[in-house]
Amino acid sequence: MEFIQKPDQLTFAATMPDFIVSGIGLSAQVTLYKDTDKVLLKETMFPSDKGLVIDVKKIINDSLRVKIPTSSIFHQDEALGLFKLVVISKGETIEYSFNALRGGYEDYNIPSRYNAMELIYSFQPSIKQITTESPEWLTFFIPLSTLRIRFRYYLSHGALCATTYIDSPYSSTKNNAGLFNIDCSYSAAYKLSLTAGGIYFAYYDVDLVSEGNGSITPVTPTQRFLITQATNAHKYYLFENTLGGIDTLICTGDLTRRLSMSSDITISDDIKDDSSNTHSLSFEQSVGIFTSEIELMWFRDFILSSQRYEVKEEHLYQIIIEEADSEINLADADVVNFSFRRASEDKYFGFARKRMELPTGLIFDGPGDVNFF
C-alpha cells in the first residue's frame, strides 16, 4: 500500500491534488488530522479502478481562516495548518504529513517554502492607483529572519528619493513562518518615510527582499502604488482574495441605496401599531472604469471572495453580493455594477453624528427679501 499521488509538503488547500492510494483491500479506514490531534475526517472508504481516491480539499480549506488585520504587521496564524492523513487497510498503515495554506492557485505547485515566499498573495494589478485614505495590504509568506519588506519612494518624474525597510516578523523561537499582512496604505508608507527624513513622494514600490553577504536580492515581484487625493466619490471594499491575501477594491462610480419596507400592523385596544415593520436595504455600486484584462480578473476575485467588507468612516460592514455583471469586456467596462446587502441588518443605525463646529452669523430671509419664497 502506497501513495501514488499526494500534495507537496506545502500546498494551497483549495486546489491541492487528491490523494490516490494503491494496494488497498476491500475497504480502508481514512483519518485526517489537523495539528496532530484534531480529527477532521474519520471514514471508511472504498477503492475504485484508479485506487483509493481521497478528496479532502474542502475540509482542509474550511478548517483554515483568514482574519481582517488589526495591526500594521499582522500574522495570519490560522491561514496555515499542519495536517496528517492516515490510511489503514489489510492491517497495514501509511500516513503523510503536510502543510496547507487557505486559498487556491490553479496549476501552481509549492515544492518548498522558498517557492511560497516568491509570491505576492494578490491578483491586483502590479501598478495600482490608490488614494490617500484607502486601506492597502500586501500579503507575503515569510519563513526566514533574513527577509525584509522594502519600501522605495519616487518623485513624480521617476527619481528614487528614499528607501526604507521593515524587519522580518519571522521569529525562529516562535516558529511563526506563514502569511503576514503588511500595511501598505499611503498613511503607513508616509509614517515609514519619516525614518528617512520625511520626504515628498508621488508613488512608491513595495517588495520582499533577502539580505546576505552585503547584498539585497528581490524575492517577490514589485507592487507599485500611485497616489491620488481621496474624494467623496471613492468607495472602498476590503476582501479576502482567493489566494488567502487581503485586498481593497476602490470604486469611483455611483453608489445607489434602495430601501424597501413592509408593515405588520397589529391592533390592541383598538389602537393600530406598526412598530414590528420589516425593512430591507440594498445597494448597487458602479465600479468605475477598467483599463486592462488584469483588472477585470481581479474584480472577479472580489466577486468570488468568501468575505467582503464595505469600508465606511473607518468601520467595516460585512456584505454579501446579490448580483454582478456577468458579461464584461473592456469596451463597456465602465458600466460594471454589482449589488449587495449588509450581512447583518436591523432597524438601528450604525453611525453617530460627528462632533463639528456649527456655522455662525446665519442670515435668514424674511418677507420682502429677494430670496424669500
pLDDT for 203: 97
> Are both 215 and 264 inside the same structural domain?
no
Q: Which of 201, 228, 255 is the last residue of a domain?
A: 228
Reported as a single tens digit per residue, the pLDDT across 317-326 is 999 999 887 6
Q: Is residue 310 part of a domain?
A: yes
Q: Looking at 111-222, which runs of residues are DSSP E strands?
A: 127-131, 137-142, 147-154, 160-166, 178-183, 203-212, 215-218
- Three-state SS string across 278-340, please? EEEEEEEEECCCCCCHHHHHHHHHHHCCCCEEEEECCEEEEEEEEEECCCCCCCCHHHCEEEE
* Average pLDDT for 142-149: 92
Q: Is residue 359 part of a domain?
A: no
Q: Is residue 354 part of a domain?
A: no
Q: Is residue 126 part of a domain?
A: yes
The more confident residue out of 171 and 179 is: 179
> Are both 239 and 304 inside the same structural domain?
yes
Q: Is residue 200 part of a domain?
A: yes
Query: Do 14 and 103 contact (CB within 8 A), yes or no?
Result: yes
Q: Is residue 366 part of a domain?
A: no
* Average pLDDT for 269-279: 70
Collect contacts of 339-343 with beta carbons under 8 A, ≥24 apart. Answer: 339/282, 339/283, 339/284, 339/285, 340/282, 340/283, 340/285, 340/308, 340/310, 341/280, 341/281, 341/282, 341/283, 342/281, 342/310, 342/317, 342/318, 343/317, 343/318, 343/319
Query: Cα 339–343–347 angle (5° rounding)?
Result: 100
> Are both 201 and 285 inside the same structural domain?
no
- Number of domains making up the chain: 3
* Average pLDDT for 232-237: 94
Q: Which three cell numbers stand for residue 268?
A: 390592541
Q: Is residue 218 part of a domain?
A: yes
Where does the pLDDT of residue 353 fall: very low under 50, low under 70, confident under 90, or very high at 90 and above? low
**Phi and psi of 297, rounded to 5°?**
-65, -35
Whether the per-residue pLDDT at 262 is higher than 90: the answer is no
> Are both 263 and 210 inside the same structural domain?
no
pLDDT for 134: 96
Q: Which domain holds residue 78?
A: 2-111
Collect contacts of 62-70 with beta carbons under 8 A, ≥24 apart. Answer: 63/34, 64/13, 64/100, 64/101, 64/102, 64/244, 65/102, 66/102, 66/103, 66/179, 66/240, 66/244, 66/245, 66/246, 66/307, 68/238, 68/246, 68/309, 68/316, 69/137, 69/181, 69/183, 69/246
> Are both 273 and 250 inside the same structural domain?
yes
> Are both 217 and 315 inside the same structural domain?
no
The more confident residue out of 239 and 257 is: 239
Q: Which three cell numbers stand for residue 230?
A: 481621496
CA distance 32 to 126: 38
Q: Which of 183, 209, 228 is the last residue of a domain?
A: 228
CA distance 29 to 92: 10
Is 0.95 surpassed by the pTM of this model?
no
Where does the pLDDT of residue 35 fall: very low under 50, low under 70, confident under 90, or very high at 90 and above? very high
pLDDT for 260: 73
CATH code at position 217:
2.60.40
Whether the per-residue pLDDT at 236 is higher than 60: the answer is yes
Q: Is residue 261 part of a domain?
A: yes
